[in-house]
Amino acid sequence: MALMKSWVASANSPNTDFPLNNLPYGVFSCGNDTMPRCGVAIGDMIFDLFKAESDGLLGDLAPVFDVPYWNDFMALGPDAWAGLRATLMDLLKDGAEERPDYLVAQSDVRMVLPFQVAEYTDFYASKDHATNVGTMFRGPENALPPNWLSIPIGYNGRASSVVVSGTDVRRPWGQIKGPDDDLPRFEPCKRFDLELEFGAIVGQPSDGPVTVAEADAMIFGYVLLNDWSARDIQAWEYQPLGPFQAKATATTISPWIVTKEALEPFRTATPDRERDLLPYLQEPGPMLYDIDLDVALAPDGGPETVLSRTNYSVMYYSSAQQLAHHTTSGCPMRVGDLLGSGTISGPQKHQRGALLELTWGGKEPVTLDGGEIRTFLEDGDTLTLRGAAKGDGYRVGFGDCAGKVLAAFAAPYSR
Amino acid sequence: MALMKSWVASANSPNTDFPLNNLPYGVFSCGNDTMPRCGVAIGDMIFDLFKAESDGLLGDLAPVFDVPYWNDFMALGPDAWAGLRATLMDLLKDGAEERPDYLVAQSDVRMVLPFQVAEYTDFYASKDHATNVGTMFRGPENALPPNWLSIPIGYNGRASSVVVSGTDVRRPWGQIKGPDDDLPRFEPCKRFDLELEFGAIVGQPSDGPVTVAEADAMIFGYVLLNDWSARDIQAWEYQPLGPFQAKATATTISPWIVTKEALEPFRTATPDRERDLLPYLQEPGPMLYDIDLDVALAPDGGPETVLSRTNYSVMYYSSAQQLAHHTTSGCPMRVGDLLGSGTISGPQKHQRGALLELTWGGKEPVTLDGGEIRTFLEDGDTLTLRGAAKGDGYRVGFGDCAGKVLAAFAAPYSR
């Protein structure tokens, strides 16, 4: 597919994340607004959907943009999703009536969380990541758990921890026991890390098990996701019931929900199975996407260094498979549930999506372009995830997923 | 403390769960109501708070009972909590103006979830339970994990799974691998179990670490909680990231929130520490409660057998300690968060709070009063948790926390 032209000039650049082909959904706040508004990114502008709906440009949709989140629209279902996309294509395409009054410059707004996160689940679906982490935490002989090739392993995370790109992240305190300590101490995390992930947003509810095809149809769109991780807290706490406080400080998502429709041209299949999947997990078609991803780190006031370059297509399980598995027990899924893919690491060293893997548990520090050395994150570091699917002369991007690390409180209760 | 008399005669029985001393909060639905209403249990009646608020009986509270859940009231904070309790004491005490128009018989209503569950976290705070389960899952040498005496171990559960007492629970499907199987099968759970727990409801938010005393002040009240558990699914899935689908089918809570104020006379200390706790977990006063608990099982159409009798005071960590630990990472807590205590098992066999422990993994079946034998739950079984703090001639009870097991779907997608 080629670039689709818009009357918004900046949307026609081959370098924009937001051509007409994309039309991702966010929520923005302009200075003195009483309420943030839903909008769609087009080039370096935002088309104001609150105003468009108020003025009757969106047809006979129920009012769903009188709230500062996309949940009400998601709840309308796939026909409404397709309908709005078609309407927006007509409104914004080259040759359509130009409506500059509906545009706001992205540089003039602050983005807020695009949806109310109902619940957040995090998975563990990159085989290279699972193997690397397993080797470090449990040794090479126990690296990949016996269930890993059968189950899209996941755990429930904390929805209240989800923040939008641009939100500072304060280094956590926690219980930490070093390898030479008899007992844990309560102190600030010393091995604070990122995890490069892809987040799927559930746009339709379920109240019983669903197939992979049904699960795919329930997904509204995708965001980039940084699952900030306190490795020293994690190592001591995670047995036997899994990660808890190590993952609860913050989870940053990109501000724009890229819809499933926008990603359709980039569908790609999961890798060959090393063990046959049970039928309920088998995919009726390609369920991953070919999306280039990278992770960049900038020290306070310093230049940015790209730490990792990978692609979402390396994952062993798709979001649709993860969602289908999530429903097997009868677990009700709700509009606004967020599923993290798990850290996206490829087989090569430069494709690893976490410092834990890039520095092999801190043993192999990385040198940044400005000369600084990192094993884990330092205060003042800004982490930025970026991603885009690359078409013929255009890209479907997500916008930056960024966060800066603040120093821990001097004492945990001195906030 | 002695029984406090009410003009509602049934509240003066020494056997009622709901004397004036208690005043627990729920939400009830009467047949054709358009919206369920908040109410307070008094004897075998409910005092209608929607009507009381509408008629101005509750003073200058903001309208908080025009919604079918207690979250809006909880958000008002501890002064409002104390104020409403004092108002209700005055309205319902012996000698006050009798207002039968505000009463509805409990037998005439259906109870619904008393609050919107923001997020649900489950802990693991009974040392006997952790030791028993650890012995069965990992062997006696690894029974109690090394972190257990330092951390109130917890994991995030699934809020969407929480249902009110009386809701049927359908046996789940899941991935199950028997000890002699090479690979898992996808089939209905064969080891479906209960867990007797106590649930704490967070009534005030936090956005950074809180002390144990602050955590205690954030707790609005308590419910009984049955953490339905699929043991065969759990055994195969839980390594390395913890329980997931094994715990996501349903979590039943009792319909009445017993307030912290009602339980004040029954506070009791946690047991002696076998290892000094880190200072952030040390308690400024008694934070457990002396509450007798039992678990009863009734086969379909058969008599009820009490399987277990224990007491909440056996726990090693209190809800306030668990909540304080939950905030260490900066994890934001929200109004309506629910914290499960973990299975409440005492040191004696009849004090065990799950069939897994009572039947030692199915090896020691229990015989019910009607002669039937159980290792795990059978279709048609009704499980009922009950609990009460016992005062001088009165009890502060929770009402039944009950659920009936339905047969699994013939195939998971045939619902």
Examine the pLDDT at B415 and tell me if it is beyond 80: no
Report pLDDT for B414.
67
For tokens 């689940």, name the residue. Answer: A121
The region, left, alpha or beta by phi > 0 then psi within -120 to 50, assigned to residue B361 is left
Share of chain A above pLDDT 90, in %: 94
Determine the distance in angstroms separating the CA of B398 from the nearest CA of chain A, rounded to an integer. 26
Report pLDDT for A225.
98
Identify residue B348 by its one-letter amino acid code: Q
Rounded distance between C-alpha atoms, residue A248 and residue B326, angstroms: 9
Q: Are B331 and A145 inside 8 Å of each other by CB?
A: no
Q: In whole numbers, what is the pLDDT of chain B averaged over residues?
A: 96
DSSP symbols for A83-105: HHHHHHHHHHBTTSPP-GGGEEE
Peptide bond into B152 cis (omega under 30): no
Which helix (H) or strand (E) is B15 found in, with range? none
Report pLDDT for A411.
85
* Per-residue confidence band for B215, with pLDDT thresholds at 50, 70 and 90: very high
Q: Are B210 and A185 inside 8 Å of each other by CB?
A: no
Identify residue B310 by its one-letter amino acid code: T
- Contacts (Cβ under 8 Å, ≥6 apart) of B412: A208, A209, A280, A328, B173, B186
Mean pLDDT is lowest, of A221-235, A280-294, A349-363, B127-141, for B127-141
Spatial CA neighbour of B215 closest among B120, B316, B118, B328:
B328
Which of the two residues, B83 and A61, has the higher pLDDT score? B83
Helix (H, G, I), strand (E, B) or coil at B163: strand
Dump pLDDT digits (tens) for B74-118: 999 999 999 999 999 999 999 999 999 999 999 999 999 999 999
Dump pLDDT digits (tens) for A117-167: 999 999 999 999 999 999 998 899 989 999 999 999 999 999 999 999 999
Rounded distance between C-alpha atoms, residue B91 and residue B341, angstroms: 34
Say if CB A53 and CB A37 are below 8 A apart.
no
* Per-residue confidence band for B412, with pLDDT thresholds at 50, 70 and 90: confident
Mean pLDDT value across residues B216-221: 98
Rounded distance between C-alpha atoms, residue A331 and residue B132, angstroms: 27
Bridge-based pairing of strands B45-48 and B37-42 is antiparallel
Report pLDDT for B41.
98
Report pLDDT for A173.
98
The secondary structure of A217-239, three-state, reads HHEEEEEEEEECEEHHHHHHHCC
CA distances from A262 to A114, A283, A292 (A): 17, 20, 15
Report pLDDT for B137.
81
* Per-residue confidence band for B413, with pLDDT thresholds at 50, 70 and 90: confident
- Contacts (Cβ under 8 Å, ≥6 apart) of A222: A198, A199, A200, A201, A257, A258, A260, A263, A289, A319, A398
Q: Using the 8-state DSSP alphabet, how is residue B137 labeled?
A: H
Examine the pLDDT at A415 and tell me if it is beyond 70: no
Q: What radius of gyration, in Å, describes the C-alpha atoms of chain B?
A: 21
Q: Are A329 and B137 inside 8 Å of each other by CB?
A: no
Alpha helices in A111-264 (DSSP H): 127-138, 212-218, 231-237, 260-263
A to B CB pairs, distance under 8 Å: 195
- State yes or no: ipTM above 0.85: yes
Helix (H, G, I), strand (E, B) or coil at B403: strand
Spatial CA neighbour of A92 closest among A143, A23, A142:
A23
Q: What radius of gyration, in Å, describes the C-alpha atoms of chain A?
A: 21
Rounded distance between C-alpha atoms, residue B69 and residue B55, angstroms: 19
* Per-residue confidence band for A307, with pLDDT thresholds at 50, 70 and 90: very high
Examine the pLDDT at A380 and tell me if it is beyond 60: yes
Rounded distance between C-alpha atoms, residue B57 and residue B103, angstroms: 14
- The CATH code of domain A9-112 reads 2.30.30.230
Q: Are A155 and B242 inside 8 Å of each other by CB?
A: yes
Rounded distance between C-alpha atoms, residue A16 and residue A4, angstroms: 12
Share of chain B above pLDDT 90, in %: 94
Q: Where along chain B do its domains lie?
A: 9-112, 120-406
Residues, chain B, total? 415
Mean pLDDT value across residues B47-67: 93
* Per-residue confidence band for A265, with pLDDT thresholds at 50, 70 and 90: very high
Report pLDDT for A2.
94
Q: Are B150 and A183 inside 8 Å of each other by CB?
A: yes
Annotated binding-site residue? B138: yes
Rounded distance between C-alpha atoms, residue A67 and residue A65, angstroms: 5
Rounded distance between C-alpha atoms, residue A152 and residue A130, angstroms: 11
Report pLDDT for B60.
81
B325–chain A Cβ distance below 8 A for any pair: yes
Q: Are B413 and A158 inside 8 Å of each other by CB?
A: no
CATH superfamily name and code, A120-406: Fumarylacetoacetase-like, C-terminal domain (3.90.850.10)
Mean pLDDT value across residues B344-367: 97
Report pLDDT for A414.
67
User: Counting beta carbons within 10 angstroms of the beta carbon of residue B334, is it exposed (0 to 12), middle (13 to 18) or buried (19 or more)?
Assistant: middle
Bridge-based pairing of strands B37-42 and A185-188 is unpaired
Determine the distance in angstroms separating the CA of B332 from the nearest CA of chain A, rounded to an integer. 6
**Chain-centroid distance, C-alpha B361:** 24
Report pLDDT for B353.
98
Number of helices (H), then strands (E), in chain A: 9, 27
CA angle centred on B315, ends B314 and B321, rounded to 5°: 150
Bridge-based pairing of strands B120-123 and B338-340 is parallel
Helix (H, G, I), strand (E, B) or coil at A71: helix
Examine the pLDDT at B32 and tell me if it is beyond 90: no
Spell out which residues of chain A touch residue B118, defining contact as CB-CB under 8 Å. Answer: 160
Chain B interface mutation, best of A121, A244, A281, highest count of B Cβ atoms under 10 Å? A244
Say if CB B328 and CB A245 are below 8 A apart.
yes
Q: Give B 164-183 residues with CB within 8 A of chain A.
A: 170, 172-175, 177, 183
Q: Give A 201-260 residues with CB within 8 A of chain B.
A: 207-211, 230, 233, 236-246, 248-250
B268–chain A Cβ distance below 8 A for any pair: no
Share of chain B above pLDDT 70, in %: 100
For tokens 């629910």, name the residue. Answer: B338
CA distances from B101 to B13, B55, B104 (A): 22, 12, 8
Neighbours of B290 (CB within 10 A): 15
- What the block records as the tokens of B29 is 């639905």
Report pLDDT for A60.
81
The phi, psi pair for A6, rounded to 5°, reads -125, 160
* Per-residue confidence band for B62, with pLDDT thresholds at 50, 70 and 90: confident
For tokens 């906030």, name the residue. Answer: A415
* Per-residue confidence band for B363, with pLDDT thresholds at 50, 70 and 90: very high
Least CB–CB distance from A329: residue in B185, B236, B249 = B249
For tokens 């991803």, name the residue. Answer: A293
Helix (H, G, I), strand (E, B) or coil at A36: coil
Spell out which residues of chain B touch residue A245, defining contact as CB-CB under 8 Å. Answer: 325-326, 328-329, 331
Mean pLDDT value across residues A258-274: 96
Annotated binding-site residue? A259: no
Mean pLDDT value across residues B380-384: 98
Dump pLDDT digits (tens) for B273-314: 999 999 999 999 999 999 999 999 999 999 999 999 999 999
User: Counting beta carbons within 10 angstroms of the beta carbon of residue B360, is it exposed (0 to 12), middle (13 to 18) or buried (19 or more)?
Assistant: middle
Dump pLDDT digits (tens) for A343-374: 999 999 999 999 999 999 999 999 999 999 99
Dump pLDDT digits (tens) for B33-42: 779 999 999 9
The phi, psi pair for B10, rounded to 5°, reads -65, -15
Determine the distance in angstroms separating the CA of A30 from the nearest CA of chain B, rounded to an integer. 25
Report pLDDT for B1.
82
Query: Can B350 be counted among the known catalytic residues?
Result: no
Determine the distance in angstroms separating the CA of B323 from the nearest CA of chain A, rounded to an integer. 12
Residue of A nearest to B133 (CA): A240
